[in-house]
A and B are shown apart, each in its own frame.
Chain A
């Protein structure tokens, strides 16, 4: 089984990536990067990452979230995060990145927040 499985859904012009597994150095980080870059190439710039089933993330994975956020913003898009686990929320808090990312607990609220 892959370290990180990513399923894609569409809701209007928002692409939702349901992520299941670990976002860690190597395969997990690369999978996230590839998915986001591919969406941008397809012109899909409103991206919601559903992290409910991401049980583990390391500094490389957090770096990849930052990299994705920057790449999408640079392309005029928006990246938002949905359903953070408590551990991930704690990591984003201590790194002060919780103030950077737009984070939601409800998919409906997250979808409504896109411009």
Chain B
């Protein structure tokens, strides 16, 4: 069976799970899915902008840095709506990393670096961001936005 990406695995009223091949196009596809998930939820434009930004950065990290654009690997995205909050998890199949090793891009020595702002944006626009590194491989980032 040939699968078209993204694959929609599960949709309930409050949860959507999606699987993306490790391509840059997954970033736009995931952002579109999140926008659809949030549409009609009465969420402010500022919240939508921030969530969109955080999702794009998380999926970029998953397909580019985690899976290194290896199309045999996937980025799994889960969207969950609860009363008063919206949670996104993005799972990759990469080697993992230590978030504490990511330098602050706003310090004087880093401000002119051309990369390293994605996690900063995720933390800035979401209320909670944490990572789980699976010892057998793969990283899951969980992001929560209070609505």
- Asked if A25 contacts B111 (CB within 8 A), the reply is no
Pick the most buried of A25, A26, A59, A63: most chain B CB atoms within 10 A of its CB: A59
**Which segment, of A10-18, A40-48, A91-99, A103-111, faces chain B?**
A91-99
**Cα-based distance from A87 to B105 in the complex (angstroms):** 19
- Asked if A95 contacts B117 (CB within 8 A), the reply is yes
Query: Which residues does chain B contribute within 8 Å of A63, judged by CB atoms?
Result: 113-115, 117
- Asked if A66 contacts B53 (CB within 8 A), the reply is no
- Asked if B111 contacts A100 (CB within 8 A), the reply is yes
- Asked if A96 contacts B111 (CB within 8 A), the reply is yes
- The main secondary structure of chain A at its interface with chain B is helix
Cβ contacts B93-113/A at 8 Å (1 or 0 each): 000000000000110000111
Minimum C-beta distance from B60 to chain A (A)? 6
- Asked if B57 contacts A58 (CB within 8 A), the reply is yes
- The answer to whether the Cβ of A5 comes within 8 Å of any Cβ in the partner chain is no
Cβ contacts B57-88/A at 8 Å (1 or 0 each): 10010001000000000000000000000000
Chain B's interface size range is 20 to 34
- Asked if B56 contacts A24 (CB within 8 A), the reply is yes
- The answer to whether the Cβ of B147 comes within 8 Å of any Cβ in the partner chain is no
Query: Which residues does chain B contribute within 8 Å of A25, judged by CB atoms?
Result: 24, 27, 56, 60, 64
- The answer to whether the Cβ of B124 comes within 8 Å of any Cβ in the partner chain is yes
Contact of A24 among B27, B114, B120 (CB under 8 A): B27
- The answer to whether the Cβ of B37 comes within 8 Å of any Cβ in the partner chain is no
**A66-B49 contact in complex given A24-B56, A58-B60, C-beta closer than 8 Å:** no
Minimum C-beta distance from B33 to chain A (A)? 16
Minimum C-beta distance from A91 to chain B (A)? 8
**Cα-based distance from A87 to B125 in the complex (angstroms):** 12
